[in-house]
Amino acid sequence: MTQIEVPEAAAMWQSALVALRDHLPEQSFATWLRPLVPERFENNALILTAPSQFHREWIESHYVANLETILADLRGEQVRLKLQVSVSPPVAVARPAPPPPLPAAVSENQEDSHLNPRYLFENFIEGDSNSFARAACLAVADMERRCPWNPLLIYGGTGLGKTHLLQAIGNRALSRHRGKYRVLYASSERFTQDFIHSLQTRHTTDFSHRYRSIDLLLVDDVQFFAAKERTQIEFFHAFNTLYQKGKRIVLTADRPVSELADFDKRLVSRFDSGLVTNIEPPDYETRVAILLHRAEADKFPMTRDVADFLAATITSNIRELEGAYVTLTARCQLMRVPPSADLVREILKTRSGQNGHRPPAEHILTIVAEFFSISPDLLRGKSRKKEIVLPRMIAMMLMTECTSLSLKQIGSLFGGRDHSTVIHARDTIRERHAANDAEIVSILRDLRNKINPLTPASG
Ligand code: ADP
Ligand code: MG
């Protein structure tokens, strides 16, 4: 039996990723392939750990064949790929005894940290509007360059890249410090919910311990702490404990510290005590660069003209720009036409024609389909395959939440399904979310981020 050390399995996997990278849309690559962790190579099989059972099945049905071909090319002999799930004990593969040293990052992964692996410095486009904030974030992520400021606070309007940068810090720090280094990303809402939950279940010590035992705390959108007095106090204590231990804290807010109303003065002065930097709305050149970068990663044939036109029309924020871009790619695929300024004009008309802030159902369908790399037709169709059923339920649930359509109307969008099917889908997803099912929590967070806000933002 040949057994190869972990570093070598990791190197093999790395080469396979490099080879595959150019053949996949960036999103699929980041969502599905990046989270896999190479374990070991034995008996001509490379063993990888997937973050969930669903993830594992998805890889098995979509990528294994391709990956095995690439690995075989790399090694010059047939290679099999075996997947296991990180939480449950391995099914297909018996661990050899004694087990080879495993990278400690297996359980200390992005999921535990609530990080989304898609937010990286590598896909963050730098421009005048964000270059200082980006540099500050990079310095925090690379602890070698001992940066003196703590905390770092980034503020700026909606959809300008605050969450992207915050998560990029976490992802980078995690990948550099594989091992005992602990990162935690939380929105201030999540922090609040956790705190309330700990009060209800009388597990406040668990709560304090959890938030005070990490090396890098990333708290998004602190403005939501406003007027939540007890949560503010709790956060203040967590902050102080970490600060005194020399642990890093990075925060974001949608407004300058001076405009945070209903805040404890002591907390505000803590926010202000490190480095405060802001992100401005992107200038025209940055908007064009973001579009072209994204199109290139997606292999979407967008001409410079079309990118110029989109960037000139959507000026408010990047999320909005991405929304229009995603709709454009979907239209082009469905109608089998190349992107054009006329098509962009048409899309912008329908997007801003929506009443209020309600996104069209079609848009949700497109976003969900793109997220899972399946066609909207499959989502609407009859397939009972597990990898289609879950995305379909999620799309239904999001439509009940984000559109003004009735249950019946939503059912009819999905190939004439009954309204009770929609209710079942909605409740199933909600229950899993309420039970803190990590996979659902993370998927919904991403999708909601993509869906809202859809109309040109005011901020
Ligand atoms: P915020 O948290 O400030 O509301 P996000 O970080 O969620 O904004 O950004 C909105 C979207 O725009 C995300 O999909 C993000 O990846 C993208 N984005 C923002 N800034 C950039 C950038 N400079 N380069 C590439 N993508 C960006
Ligand atoms: Mg955000």
* pLDDT at site 221: 95
306, 331, 356 — which closes off a domain? 356
- Bridge partners (DSSP) of residue 152 are 250, 275
56, 85, 114 — which closes off a domain? 85
Q: What's the CA-to-centroid distance between 221 and ligand 2, angstroms? A: 7
Q: Measuring from atom 6 of ligand 1, which residue has the nearest CA?
A: 161
Q: What's the CA-to-centroid distance between 278 and ligand 2, angstroms? A: 13
Is the residue at 93 inside a domain? no
Residues 130 and 51 in one domain: no
Residue 287 contacts residue 314 (beta carbons within 8 Å): yes
Residues 258 and 147 in one domain: yes
Residues 117 and 155 in one domain: yes
Residues 191 and 44 in one domain: no
pTM tops 0.85, yes or no? no
CA torsion sign, 251 to 253 to 259 to 260? negative
* pLDDT at site 87: 65
Is the residue at 92 inside a domain? no
244, 259, 278 — which closes off a domain? 278
Residues 119 and 263 in one domain: yes
Q: Whose atoms come closest to the Cα of 155: which ligand?
A: 1
Q: Residue ranges of the alpha helices (H) in 315-418?
A: 318-335, 341-352, 361-371, 376-380, 386-402, 407-413
Closest CA to 251 of 166, 136, 146: 166
Residues 66 and 109 in one domain: no
* pLDDT at site 109: 60
Q: Profile the chain (459 residues) by mean pLDDT over runs of 10 residues.
A: 58 79 71 86 90 80 81 81 71 35 40 87 95 94 76 94 96 85 91 89 87 93 92 94 93 93 92 94 93 92 91 86 88 86 83 55 90 91 93 95 84 92 92 85 86 44
Residues 119 and 227 in one domain: yes
Cα 222 from Cα 191, distance rounded (Å): 10
CATH number of the structural domain spanning residue 51: 3.30.300.180
Residues 259 and 122 in one domain: yes
**Both tokens of residue 223?**
């403005």
**Residues whose beta carbon lies within 6 Å of some atom of ligand 1:** 123-125, 130, 156, 158-164, 290, 318-319, 322, 449
Residues with CB under 5 A from ligand 2 (ion): 162-163
Measured CA to CA in angstroms, residue 225 lies from 185, 239, 276, 458 at distances of: 16, 14, 18, 22
CATH number of the structural domain spanning residue 370: 1.10.1750.10
Residues 117 and 240 in one domain: yes
Cα 194 from Cα 446, distance rounded (Å): 19
Give Cβ neighbours of residue 222 (< 8 Å, ≥ 6 apart): 153, 188, 251, 252, 253, 260, 271
Domain that holds residue 331: 284-356
Is the residue at 122 inside a domain? yes
Is the residue at 457 inside a domain? no
Q: How many residues are given for the chain? A: 459
Strand pairing category for 37-42 and 45-50: antiparallel
Give burial (CB, 10 Å; 0-12/13-18/19+) of 268: middle
**Both tokens of residue 434?**
């309420």
Q: What's the CA-to-centroid distance between 369 and ligand 2, angstroms? A: 22
**Both tokens of residue 324?**
């229009």
Residues 134 and 270 in one domain: yes
Is the residue at 54 inside a domain? yes
Is the residue at 434 inside a domain? yes
Q: What's the CA-to-centroid distance between 124 and ligand 1, angstroms? A: 8
Q: What's the CA-to-centroid distance between 64 and ligand 2, angstroms? A: 34
Q: How many domains does the chain have?
A: 4
DSSP 92: S
Q: Whose atoms come closest to the Cα of 318: which ligand?
A: 1
Q: Whose atoms come closest to the Cα of 130: which ligand?
A: 1
CATH number of the structural domain spanning residue 152: 3.40.50.300
Is the residue at 254 inside a domain? yes
Residues 432 and 298 in one domain: no
Is the residue at 456 inside a domain? no
Give the ligand 1 atom nearest the CA of 118. Answer: 16
